[in-house]
Amino acid sequence: MGPSNQTMRIFLYFSIGYILLTLYVRTRTVRDPGSLFFDPWTAYDPSYSAYRLGQGEAYIDSISNSSVHPVPKAGPNPEICLGIATVARKGIRYFHDAVGTVLEGLSAEERANIYLILFIAHTEPARHPAYQEKWLYEVPDKVLLYQPDKIDMQRIQALEKDTENYLMRACNDVGTKYLLLMEDDVVAQDGWYHRTREALAIAEKKTEKLGASKWLYLRLFYSEEFFGWNSEEWPTYLWYSILAIVVVALVSLGSRQYIPSVKPHMPNSTVLLLCFVCTPLLIILFFAAGRTTMLPLPKGVHLMQNFGCCSQAFVFPRERVPELLELYKSKEEGYVDSITEAYANEHDELRWALIPSVMQHVGRQSTKSTSDTVGPPRYKTKAEMKGPERLWNFAFETIDPAAMSAEHEYAKEDFAEYVDISI
């Protein structure tokens, strides 16, 4: 067989393998927002979050129907103050079920370690549909409302950031070691508490190992949307692509030179095929698969100094709260997440993230939206989606409910033993 025929045969085999590999990659990357094969119909389908919302709704309904007594509350020395601020949205409600997902499945020991504040962030609280509902006063440790005699109501109405400011102050007054602030359109996975608690301990240890004395926050939600192939890193991508081609060339030529049995099967045409056709095509497929598929964020607690949008669920150490409150008070304009990130960048603050996310943003309508509804994103192309619709953690929807429940049950037993020992 001549060199050209042999090269064509190799190319034929490669082509068949490449097509099969592409089909496989396509099935595995539909949830990667940076993938060429990204499928919004699948990726934005709320599979696990819908399951959790159902559980959350059932839990809150059981409270409303008086089938849970006594309703679990915080113990004498809670470790986390969990604050959730809510505002009424036109034509859609998230708050009821979102609160349910935070509480559903918690053991008595876990619930006792959480002081829950639900904040109706309206100067006229009766505007919120939950204000008249029984569960709102049964579930939390405190229902927070604005006090007109103690605050500037005109400022509150004008500045969105004072919602978080007011809630943060209330949580700070509880005196817990950590403050967890959540938005009202966030779903919590089963077992969110034990994973968060473990992550906080790891964040403290990692901060110490870095030689730092403090960290700013632990992020419980992030979107893979912002972790794709970043254009500013193209020189790095180009360098590694060229390096891959060079390595293939060196291996091919080296094999031909030092392994006599390989030489007849490695003519120049085959070397050129491997270096300038096969390898580039594999590189293209690598990038087409998406960054979160090919270079996924490592599981655990890691620094997330960039691209960690947005402020759906943050845990703050209590000692950082006074300076943050002063920061928010000093800024006349801007949203809390933007103000916080600008401050963190300016002071090179440590920002940790728990990976994978234990929270999901299910809000399709912004609190600032004037429209009544937002259509299900799975019926839209990615380009047609608005900002709130694209804030989504795609890996969250792949959680196995049975496996997660089993992990949580084990963690409950372990935490119960810890509590008994500490007492």
For residue 51, give the amino acid letter: Y
Q: Could you tell me if 282 and 322 lie in one domain?
A: no
Q: Could you tell me if 159 and 206 lie in one domain?
A: yes
Domain presence at residue 332: yes
Q: Which residues contact 139 (CB under 8 A, 6 or more apart)?
A: 60, 63, 71, 99, 103, 116, 118
- Using the 3D structure, point to which of 289, 308, 328 is the last residue of a domain: 289
- Tens of pLDDT along 306-351? 887 888 999 999 999 999 999 988 886 777 888 999 999 999 999 9
Number of domains present in the structure of the chain: 2
| pLDDT class of 354 with cuts at 50, 70, 90 | very high
Domain presence at residue 39: no
Cβ atoms of residues 51 and 92 within 8 Å: no
Work out the average pLDDT over 290-303.
96
Please count the other Cβ atoms lying within 10 Å of the Cβ belonging to residue 83: 26
Per-residue pLDDT, 331: 82
Tell me the percentage of the chain whose pLDDT exceeds 70. Answer: 89
pTM higher than 0.75 = yes
| pLDDT class of 389 with cuts at 50, 70, 90 | confident
Q: Could you tell me if 324 and 215 lie in one domain?
A: yes
Q: Could you tell me if 386 and 335 lie in one domain?
A: yes
- Using the 3D structure, point to which of 244, 272, 289 is the last residue of a domain: 289
Distance CA 347, CA 325 (A): 16
Q: Which two tokens stand for residue 415?
A: 């935490």
Per-residue pLDDT, 396: 97
- Tens of pLDDT along 28-50? 999 999 999 999 989 999 999 99
Secondary structure letter of residue 89 according to DSSP: B
pLDDT reading at 387 higher than 80: no
For residue 78, give the amino acid letter: P
pLDDT reading at 367 higher than 80: no
Secondary structure letter of residue 72 according to DSSP: P
Q: Could you tell me if 64 and 88 lie in one domain?
A: yes
| pLDDT class of 191 with cuts at 50, 70, 90 | very high
Distance CA 183, CA 50 (A): 18
- Checking DSSP bridges between strand 178-183 and strand 351-355, what pairing results, if any? unpaired
Q: Could you tell me if 305 and 183 lie in one domain?
A: yes
pLDDT reading at 159 higher than 60: no
Q: Could you tell me if 151 and 277 lie in one domain?
A: no
Work out the average pLDDT over 344-366.
91
For residue 133, give the amino acid letter: E
| CATH for 216 | 3.90.550.10
- Residue 74 β-bridge partners: none
Cα four-point dihedral sign 369, 371, 372, 378: negative
Cβ atoms of residues 321 and 172 within 8 Å: yes
Cβ atoms of residues 167 and 83 within 8 Å: yes
Per-residue pLDDT, 136: 96
Per-residue pLDDT, 369: 44
| pLDDT class of 373 with cuts at 50, 70, 90 | very low
Q: How far is residue 199 CA from its own chain's centroid?
A: 14
Q: Could you tell me if 74 and 121 lie in one domain?
A: yes
Domain that holds residue 187: 47-227+296-422
Per-residue pLDDT, 3: 64
Q: Could you tell me if 251 and 324 lie in one domain?
A: no
Mean pLDDT of the chain: 89
Domain presence at residue 376: yes
Among left, alpha and beta (phi > 0; psi -120 to 50; other), residue 385 is beta
Per-residue pLDDT, 329: 86
User: Rg (Cα) of the chain, in Å, rounded?
Assistant: 26
C-alpha neighbours within 13 Å on the C-beta side of residue 173? 9
